[in-house]
């Protein structure tokens, strides 16, 4: 295996990933043979800031750092190459659109779930039928109109759509397949016992504390040097996570601040920075608001926030603000979108103009956020409030416990509805999101549509144009989405993107691991150091 891969791919440009100080990493320790007895890499301990309250496969993704580990247990039909943005085989080897409403997927014939359930078309259909449900908190983000899954033959899965959907392959990268036997016979265990098809199997789980996994000896892609066991623990404090790696009590500390990461570089640890495929942003209330629905106030918010200063101070020292609601390469990404320059005088004038027309610019605005949801979130929220107050608005901050903040952020979910937004409640949520489908519709469906799960925005004119663009494919889809965002962002600032997040992780020099822009840690490619010289 190549050293560049082993030490964290110091210069993989497509991932904007860098290893900052490799300390005393020993390349020979990772020179495992290509073939031979799988495993031997020992245990790897990963510490994250997100307390995982449920293992239910379709729901666990609501915990911001669930997928790095859990996707090694519960897999999907397809995966995404984050270097090329291409969808690639995983549990399915081939797929085809037979006509606009019918797809077929050819499945691997050498896979079983960890409870012994055969992985075939009939059982895959049962697993997909379960997870294709808008009511499931995370997987439901990717679910559209009703779909029927069926077995064409033992290893050929059929999908029948209600309406054409060019994103079927992309969505099949995001549908985790739990054991259909567990779903049918023991659904009450889905939140506490993880049964998938992946390279690692569930061992034990302490809610909000610890998850233990072990290597699956029956997996189809095993190698010498892979970790024998995985411990995933949770610590809220950034510095504590970094210190656990420094003390040799953990191997990977996720999502520390850039300063803490750099300070942790030593003979035994390195700092790896990785740019994610999403972005930090502000979500100002719109529906049922007289103040925040005024386009001048929304534009004032966008001009008042010092996105460059916030980015360099609290997100990534070399980062720049973004204006697209997704990564470059996303369908709908616009090269021509106009930016909101930081301009306090312009923001003040927009506020003054609105006030002169009777808008109550003294209305309290609340910058809401989930405590500890990402590094420096407290500082970012306070900076936003300070910026808005300098422009003549009346802003304060409110930090919420993670579960309460998530419940408030989900505006159209379970008992919540956009119709329930109180008049002029004045919330501006500071949040982060990703674009795992690499398509504008992921943002449009969840944040910009009237019935979007996280949407407080409902503009009938935009909705009609968005629905028409969503029906397009190919270049027409790209052009219409890009044009629609250009116009709506300039006129209404439905959301205010801040920057693409750069994750800083402290990594022990006894592990070789690659990080991806979707946060997934592919443990089939990770290795532990050998005990002695190779």
- Per residue in 233-246, pLDDT (tens digit) is 999 888 999 999 99
Q: For position 353, what pLDDT does the model report?
A: 98
Catalogue the long-range contacts made by 86-92 (C-beta closer than 8 Å, 24 or more residues apart).
87/169, 87/170, 87/172, 87/173, 90/173, 91/119, 91/124, 91/177, 91/197, 92/157, 92/172
Q: Which two tokens stand for residue 230?
A: 């995985």
Q: Which residues contact 219 (CB under 8 A, 6 or more apart)?
A: 198, 199, 524
What is each CA distance from 167 to 56, 441, 472, in whole angstroms?
A: 24, 9, 11
Tell me the whole-structure pTM to 2 decimals.
Answer: 0.87
Q: How far apart are CA 151 and CA 468, in angstroms?
A: 33
Q: For position 217, what pLDDT does the model report?
A: 97
- Per residue in 519-532, pLDDT (tens digit) is 889 999 999 999 86
Confidence of residue 372 (pLDDT cuts 50, 70, 90): confident
Mean pLDDT score of the chain: 91
Q: For position 61, what pLDDT does the model report?
A: 62
Per-residue pLDDT at 294 exceeds 50: yes
> Averaged over 463-490, what is the pLDDT?
96
- Least trusted range by pLDDT, from 59-73, 127-141, 374-388, 471-485: 59-73
> Averaged over 391-401, what is the pLDDT?
97
> Averaged over 199-215, what is the pLDDT?
94
- Least trusted range by pLDDT, from 6-20, 177-191, 281-295, 326-340: 6-20
Q: For position 13, what pLDDT does the model report?
A: 31
> Averaged over 383-406, what is the pLDDT?
96
Q: For position 142, what pLDDT does the model report?
A: 87
Q: How far apart are CA 445 and CA 455, in angstroms?
A: 9
Q: For position 11, what pLDDT does the model report?
A: 31
> Averaged over 218-229, what is the pLDDT?
97
- Least trusted range by pLDDT, from 10-14, 271-275, 456-460, 465-469: 10-14
Per-residue pLDDT at 318 exceeds 90: no
Per-residue pLDDT at 230 exceeds 80: yes
- Least trusted range by pLDDT, from 3-7, 177-181, 409-413: 3-7
- Per residue in 406-453, pLDDT (tens digit) is 899 999 887 888 999 999 999 999 999 988 899 999 999 999 999 999
Q: Which residues contact 365 (CB under 8 A, 6 or more apart)?
A: 291, 292, 388, 393, 394, 395, 396, 426, 427, 428
**Biggest CA-to-CA distance, the chain:** 76
- Beta bridge partner(s), residue 504: 256, 273
Residue (of 147, 204, 143) closest to 176 by Cα position: 143
Q: For position 14, what pLDDT does the model report?
A: 33
Q: For position 23, what pLDDT does the model report?
A: 52
Q: For position 60, what pLDDT does the model report?
A: 65
Per-residue pLDDT at 3 exceeds 50: no
Q: How far apart are CA 385 and CA 394, in angstroms?
A: 8
Q: For position 7, what pLDDT does the model report?
A: 33
Secondary structure of residue 521 in the 3-state scheme: coil
Q: For position 63, what pLDDT does the model report?
A: 55
DSSP state of 7: T
Secondary structure of residue 437 in the 3-state scheme: coil
- Least trusted range by pLDDT, from 38-47, 132-141, 271-280, 317-326: 132-141
Q: How far apart are CA 376 and CA 319, in angstroms?
A: 15
Q: Measured on CA atoms in the order 409, 434, 251, 72, is the torsion positive or negative?
A: positive
Q: For position 6, what pLDDT does the model report?
A: 32
Helix spans in 57-204 (H):
67-70, 121-131, 168-171, 180-185
Confidence of residue 147 (pLDDT cuts 50, 70, 90): very high
Number of other CB atoms surrounding residue 185 within 10 Å: 11
Q: Are 70 and 194 in contact (CB under 8 A)?
A: yes
In DSSP notation, 272-306 reads EEEE-SSEEEEEE--TT-SSTTSHHHHHHHHHHS-
Per-residue pLDDT at 4 exceeds 50: no
Secondary structure of residue 487 in the 3-state scheme: helix
Per-residue pLDDT at 154 exceeds 50: yes
Q: How far apart are CA 396 and CA 392, in angstroms?
A: 13
Residue 167: phi and psi, rounded to 5, are -95, 10
Q: Which residues contact 2 (CB under 8 A, 6 or more apart)?
A: none
Q: How far apart are CA 158 and CA 151, in angstroms?
A: 6
264 vs 11, residue with greater confidence: 264
Q: For position 9, what pLDDT does the model report?
A: 34
Secondary structure of residue 150 in the 3-state scheme: strand
Q: What percent of the chain has pLDDT over 70?
A: 93
Domains of the chain listed by start with CATH number: 43-47+198-276+505-528 (3.40.190.10), 74-189 (3.90.76.10), 278-500 (3.10.105.10)
Kindly tell me the burial class for residue 476, based on how many C-beta atoms sit within 10 Å of its own C-beta (0-12, 13-18, 19 or more): exposed
Secondary structure of residue 370 in the 3-state scheme: strand
Per-residue pLDDT at 402 exceeds 90: no
Q: Are 61 and 138 in contact (CB under 8 A)?
A: yes
- Least trusted range by pLDDT, from 107-111, 274-278, 342-346, 396-400: 274-278
């Amino acid at each position: 295996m190549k050293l560049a891969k082993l030490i964290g791919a110091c210069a993989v440009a497509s991932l904007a990933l860098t290893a900052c100080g490799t300390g005393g990493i020993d390349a020979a320790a990772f020179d495992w043979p290509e073939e031979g007895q799988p495993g031997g890499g020992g245990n790897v301990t990963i510490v994250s800031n997100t307390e995982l309250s449920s293992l239910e496969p379709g729901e666990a993704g609501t915990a911001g750092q669930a997928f790095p580990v859990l996707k090694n247990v519960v897999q999907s039909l397809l995966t995404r190459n984050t270097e090329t943005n291409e969808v690639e085989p995983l549990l399915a080897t081939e797929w085809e659109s037979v006509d606009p409403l019918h797809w077929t997927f050819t499945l691997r014939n050498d896979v079983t779930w960890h409870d012994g359930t055969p992985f075939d078309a009939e059982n895959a259909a049962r697993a997909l039928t379960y997870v294709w449900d808008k009511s499931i908190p995370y997987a439901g983000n990717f679910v559209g109109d009703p779909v029927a899954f069926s077995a064409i033959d033992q290893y050929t899965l059929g999908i029948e759509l209600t309406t054409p959907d060019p994103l079927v392959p992309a969505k099949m990268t995001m549908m985790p397949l739990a054991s259909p036997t567990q779903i049918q016979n023991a659904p009450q265990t889905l939140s506490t016992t993880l049964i998938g098809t992946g390279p690692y199997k569930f061992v034990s789980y302490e809610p909000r504390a610890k998850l233990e996994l072990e290597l699956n000896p029956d997996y189809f892609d095993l190698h010498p040097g892979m970790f024998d066991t995985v411990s995933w623990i949770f610590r809220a404090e950034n510095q504590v996570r970094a210190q656990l790696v420094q003390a040799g009590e953990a191997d990977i500390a996720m999502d520390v601040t850039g300063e803490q990461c750099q300070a942790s570089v030593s003979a035994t640890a390195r700092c790896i920075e990785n740019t994610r495929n999403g972005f930090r942003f502000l979500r100002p209330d719109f529906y049922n608001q007289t103040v925040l629905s005024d386009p001048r106030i929304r534009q004032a918010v966008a001009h008042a926030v010092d996105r460059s200063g916030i980015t360099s101070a609290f997100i990534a020292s070399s980062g720049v603000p973004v204006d697209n609601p997704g990564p470059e390469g996303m369908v709908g990404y616009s090269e021509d979108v106009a930016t909101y320059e930081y301009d306090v005088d312009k923001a003040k004038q927009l506020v003054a103009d609105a006030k002169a027309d009777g808008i109550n610019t003294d209305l309290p605005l609340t910058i809401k956020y989930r405590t500890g949801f990402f590094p420096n979130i407290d500082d970012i929220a306070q900076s936003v409030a300070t910026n808005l107050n300098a422009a003549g608005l009346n802003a304060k901050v409110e930090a919420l416990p993670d579960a309460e903040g998530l419940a408030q952020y989900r505006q159209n979910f379970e008992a919540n509805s956009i119709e329930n937004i109180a008049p002029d409640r004045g919330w501006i949520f500071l949040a982060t999101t990703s674009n795992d489908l690499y398509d504008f519709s992921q943002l449009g469906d969840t944040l910009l549509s009237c019935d979007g799960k996280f949407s407080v925005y409902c503009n009938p004119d935009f909705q009609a144009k968005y629905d028409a663009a969503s029906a397009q494919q190919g270049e027409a889809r790209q052009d219409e989405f890009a044009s629609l965002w250009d116009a709506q962002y300039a006129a209404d600032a439905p959301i205010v993107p801040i920057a693409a997040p750069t994750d800083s992780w402290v990594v022990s020099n006894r592990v070789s691991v690659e990080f991806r822009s979707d946060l997934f840690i592919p443990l089939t490619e990770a290795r532990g150091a050998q005990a002695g010289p190779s």
